[in-house]
Amino acid sequence: MPFAALGLPDYLLRAVAALTYQEPTAIQAQAIPHVLAGRDVVGVAQTGTGKTAAYALPILLQLNAAARPASPQPLQVLTVAPTRELALQVAAAFRAYAQFSPRKVNTLAVIGGEDLEGQIRALRRGAQVIVGTPGRLLDLIERGELHLAQVQTLVLDEADKLLDLGFADELDKLLALLPPKRQNLLFSATFSPKVAALSERFLSDPVRASVEGELPVVEKIVQRVLQVDRDRRRMLLQHLLEEEGWKQVLVFVASKVAARNLAAKLDREGISAVGFHGDLEQEQRLEALRRFKNQQTRVLVATDVAARGIDIEQLSCVVNYDLPRSPREYIHRIGRTGRAGHKGLAVSFVDPDSEAHFALIEKRAAVSLAREQIPGFEPIVLPAAKTKGAPAVKGRRKSKKDKLRAAAAKALAQD
């Protein structure tokens, strides 16, 4: 079933397409129609089954469809989550799903342990959606900084965990402050007696959507982030082509010159490669594509603009040799792999200078990826020294002994 069949508007369809979701997961297909119909819903689904979109997408539709409320808009959606990590993740998901929405939807995570003053300042600027942990939410209410009087939708996410962590009293207090007329959505990995009692107390005639036992969404595209110094990227790419046996790779670079140079260098090393960029004649382009499709060329080194027209089924690997400029471009690039039901691999090279930029991409694409280092290619360039006038400091390249020592320490740590 396509997402469009769920009655979602174009701006949400664009967002899920941008995140490379191909079709709704079971919990989304079950819950979205009920949420849209305004019903209270109990969703029994594990994290990883796509439950966040099951409530966030229809909520965003409701926020956009409602008559324009006063300015600044009051808080309309309260999501309570048991942990800081989940709260941050859910807030990031709301933002990613709202990226094309006609109305600006301010989403804020309010979580314990983080800068209270900063959260108060953000609250004063106004948020329509808040995702918070119970203690911090109550703290802000007591300080008179958070008002729940206009909340229309309450989401209790991972309700079983909220209860297991002993938040029952906090939940009681919070729920007593909400307006009685509201929509309630409760999600839980299991429908334990405690969760059933909670639902009984606070929900009104809820529909149950259950995908208990459903496996997590298999990420179609495996995303890896490799830390490597800029001047060692080509060596690392060659190493990976060999070690990991990548048959065909689409490598993204930032400029025509880089596309030409990298392709030429790889070719010289005996790896068949072609630069694919805007300076090629139409004929040359078609020929390059034809050879890549026939697997006569192993590496296509492309710029974003040139790559736009490429449509190759079963492309198994994409490499961000240069990082894309925007999160949208990142999703676009990695979406070129993992097509037609095949698993894809997207590898990004980051160095100390591009780390902050990549962190921003992760935030906007609502992912958080582990950093990897490939033995022998560990970065050695230290971040540029901040002191005025001091030149960028280069670290010492590791000796073979250093590397062996590091590998031994790593092995020990893993034991």
Residues that bind ligand AMP (CB under 6 A): 19, 21, 24-25, 28, 47-53, 217
By beta-carbon proximity to ligand AMP, the closer residue of 161 and 239 is 161
Is residue 72 reached through a cis peptide bond, with omega within 30 degrees of 0 on the bond before it? yes
Shortest distance in whole angstroms from residue 187 CB to ligand AMP:
9
Nearer Cβ to ligand AMP, position 58 or 379?
A: 58
To ligand AMP, the closest distance from the beta carbon of 246 in angstroms equals 24
11 vs 21, which CB is nearer to ligand AMP?
21
Compute the least distance from the CB of residue 209 to ligand AMP, in Å: 13
Residues with Cβ within 8 Å of residue 151, at least 6 apart in sequence: 75, 76, 77, 78, 178, 179, 182
Structure tokens at 221: 């595209």
Spatial contact of 251 and 373, defined as CB atoms under 8 Å apart: no
Place of tokens 């958080």: 368
Which residue from 112, 105, 161 is spatially nearest to 137, judged by alpha carbons? 112
Of the candidates 54, 74, 167, the residue with the CA atom closest to the CA atom of residue 125: 74
CB nearer ligand AMP, residue 53 or residue 253? 53
CB of 153 to ligand AMP, least distance (A): 17
Q: How far is the CB of 267 from ligand AMP (least distance, A)?
A: 37
Q: Residue 87 CB, nearest distance to ligand AMP (Å)?
A: 12
Q: Which residues pair with 42 in a beta bridge?
A: 186, 208
Tokens of 195: 């969760």
* Comparison of 55 and 377: residue with beta carbon closer to ligand AMP: 55
Q: In terms of CB distance, is 107 or 303 closer to ligand AMP?
A: 107
> At its nearest, how many Å lie between ligand AMP and the CB of residue 58?
13
Q: Output 51 or 232, the one with its CB closest to ligand AMP.
A: 51
Chain position carrying tokens 């710029």: 303
Q: At which residue do the structure tokens 């594990």 appear?
A: 46
Rounded CA-CA distance 194/351 in Å is 48
Q: What are phi and psi of 274, to 5 degrees?
A: -135, 140
Question: What is the chain's Cα-based Rg?
Answer: 25
Q: How does DSSP classify residue 341?
A: T
| β strands within 16-118, DSSP E | 41-44, 77-80, 107-110
Q: Which is nearer to ligand AMP, 86 or 273 (CB)?
A: 86
Q: How far is the CB of 24 from ligand AMP (least distance, A)?
A: 5
Quick one: tokens of 170?
A: 């906090």
| Least distance CB 228 / ligand AMP (angstroms) | 25
Nearer to ligand AMP, 90 or 263 (CB): 90
For CA atoms 42, 43, 46, 52, give the dihedral sign.
negative
Query: Please, which residue, 234 or 363, has the CB nearer to ligand AMP?
Result: 363
State the alpha helices, DSSP H only, in 78-167: 84-97, 116-125, 134-142, 159-164
Cβ–Cβ under 8 Å, residues 239 and 55: no
Greatest alpha-carbon span in the chain: 72
Closest CA to 304 of 317, 316, 321: 321
Nearest approach in angstroms of CB 331 to ligand AMP is 11
